Structure 1
């Protein structure tokens, strides 16, 4: 769950229309039956300053089969679901412009029949000064559908580290409080000692004055 939220957060940063950096984050590979799942696919341009346009196609090969099925096509701003098994279940979650770098698709109501290999294909045209360049990029996602989400090792480690950090912060706070208390107490003791010395000095001075008067 932690990883899923983190992945969605990363994608939300990239979906914005700014011309910021791009990082090719891999898709998650485990979905839970009955829930939704984000099929991630990112293909970054090597030079951000070069304008371009792209279309994205998604293909699906069920577990145990050899051929891919063409299930989705996106050509901004049009998204087309091309296979009846995914009718009404696929939603474009990628770049909202023709210069596509994120080809993510959200799948609603995942079923066990969705287990298999998904292929994301970018067909990109880069508009260069001398001649346009055509680039094709393919990426695959091996999706497994389970009844209950498994806690991945990274998520377990992240949770353990969170509790360790909380414990460390609590101990650190205790140490700081003890240190501050000791410092205040030492300053109080030093202040009382200075008062005692001052009072003793005044008493001795007063005694000396009294002795002088008696001698006269």
Structure 2
């Protein structure tokens, strides 16, 4: 009975861990800031909706501003991409034909993808999101601006966070394997102990004289 209860409890915990991540959750994560020459680069821009049940009209604009060559000269900001009314369009300019939509269907993630990154893509990117909510005659609007500084390198640098994550993954795998082994040994010992008790009970029953089996109230004869 105890073993069956433990199995049910472990199954319930496993179901909780499996089902919980499947719930839709919006998390505002920072964008990567290093791109590799000739590789695609995703510029992450997330604007979480506070009220998912309200329909909103969303417009997204992306701007690019190159790194200033001189301190006294302010570089010009260029409109490179826009998304409105389910239509995505890369504006004429240096990024024409090299930008692709990489956002989500609910428009909480409004990221874009730069194809075939070049050294000239280094600079400052600005993501501007405008949402107009529909409340009958009242249409409030909310906006958010996110800035990303992008550096293009010839080769990717080693990510220490990824290395630590990989190490922790292996440590966790070893721990779970050891825990599973302990559980198997524990269950085996419980089953073996139950079998020994059953065998002892059967042996003691067979050792009882037949007269006492027929009449349990009869005294035991030496």
Tell me the TM-score normalized by structure 2: 0.67
The aligned residue for residue 167 of structure 2 is: 160
The aligned residue for residue 103 of structure 2 is: 94
CA deviation profile, 1:75-128 (whole Å, cap 9, x unmatched): 23433322432121101223558xx44321111112232222110112333333
| Residue 198 to residue 43, structure 1, CA distance change in 2 (3 Å) | closer
| Residue 195 to residue 123, structure 1, CA distance change in 2 (3 Å) | closer
| Residue 48 to residue 176, structure 1, CA distance change in 2 (3 Å) | closer
Q: What RMSD, in angstroms, separates the aligned Cα atoms of the two structures?
A: 3.1
Instruction: Give 2:36's match in structure 1, choosing from 32, 35, 60.
Output: 32
2:82 matched to 1:78?
Answer: no
The aligned residue for residue 185 of structure 1 is: 192
Note the 1:1-216 alignment, pairs <5 A.
Answer: 22-65=26-69, 66-67=74-75, 68-95=77-104, 100-194=107-201, 197-198=204-205, 201-202=208-209
CA deviation profile, 1:24-71 (whole Å, cap 9, x unmatched): 333222222222122111223443344331321111122335322221
Preserved CA contact (<8 Å) 2:57 2:85: no
The aligned residue for residue 212 of structure 1 is: none
Aligned counterparts of 1:44 and 1:176: Cα–Cα separation in 2: 43
Structure 1 unpaired stretches of 5+: 1-12, 14-19, 206-216
Q: How much does 1:179 deviate?
A: 2.1
Structure 2 unpaired stretches of 5+: 1-21, 213-222
**Alignment length, in residue pairs?**
185
* Partner SS, residue 59 of structure 2: strand
Preserved CA contact (<8 Å) 1:60 1:70: yes
